[in-house]
Structure 1
Amino acid sequence: MDKKKLFDAFDDFSQNLMVTLAEVEAMKKQVQELVKENTGLRLENTKLRERLHQLEPETEAKAPHQGKDHLESIYQDGFHVCNSFYGQRRENDEGCVFCMELLYRE
């Protein structure tokens, strides 16, 4: 092989190696950014889960009360909330013993 051809081959190989090295460095930088973002998201996710666990007992305690309030508002709008007549309009807004028992039992 001629010395000039050999030198040109090494020069081409060197340039290809430099291009590949630049691509590897760019990918390395992207991976570092992704790891940093992933770490931040994991931390945020952990904090949100902790906050959710703190709120769950409050939500569970309020849920039955909110349901009762909802049923009372339906009853006040003139509809039955008892099992026997649920959703039917109360005639002349007369009281229903079954609805009252459901709403005000302890």
Structure 2
Amino acid sequence: MVDRLDKSDIYERFAEVTRQTKDLVESMEVLSEKLSLVLAENAKLAIENDHLHEVIKQQHREQKKEGLSDSRKMLQRLYQEGFHVCNDMYGKRLEENEACTFCLDAIYGRHQVK
């Protein structure tokens, strides 16, 4: 009788492990499908990112040819209208005929005036 119970218990445990294995295989299939989707999206985003980097590089090359970027041109206009554009005094009025080296550096730093 003891022998029969052990065999029955072994069979039940085997059946349970079989069910768990089937569940695990199903979970792995679902994960595999999701992973494929994520990898495809990642590849698409990598291509788009490379394209955007090229666009930015091209715009940067064009800006170097043209001189100042739009944001620096805006700073230049503010400075010409009589306002500081440097970090320390941003927005404060310049005195008459005052020149601020820090403002000029903010506008033209690492750019040559044409």
Q: Which has the larger radius of gyration?
A: 1
2:79 corresponds in structure 1 to 75
For normalisation by structure 1, the TM-score amounts to 0.60
Whole-Å separation in 2 of the counterparts to 1:5 and 1:41: 54
Structure 2 portions without partners, runs of 5+: none
1:81: Cα distance to partner? 5.6
1:9: Cα distance to partner? 1.9
Contact 1:80 1:96 in 2 (8 A): no
Structure 1 portions without partners, runs of 5+: none
1:48: Cα distance to partner? 2.3
Q: How many pairs are equivalent?
A: 100
SS, match of residue 13 in structure 1: helix
Whole-Å separation in 1 of the counterparts to 2:34 and 2:53: 28
Contact 1:74 1:80 in 2 (8 A): yes
Percent identity between the aligned chains?
17
1:33-48 counterparts in 2 under 5 A? 33-48=33-48
Aligned partner letter, 1:43: A
What do residues 9-63 of structure 1 show as CA deviations (whole Å, max 9, x unaligned)?
Answer: 2331232122221232133123313421331232123212221222122331337
Aligned partner letter, 2:54: Q
1:1-106 counterparts in 2 under 5 A? 2=2, 4-60=4-60, 61-62=62-63, 64-80=68-84, 88-91=92-95, 105-106=113-114
For normalisation by structure 2, the TM-score amounts to 0.57
Higher helix share: 1
1:74: Cα distance to partner? 0.9
CA RMSD of aligned residues (A): 3.7
SS, match of residue 89 in structure 1: coil
Whole-Å separation in 2 of the counterparts to 1:98 and 1:71: 13
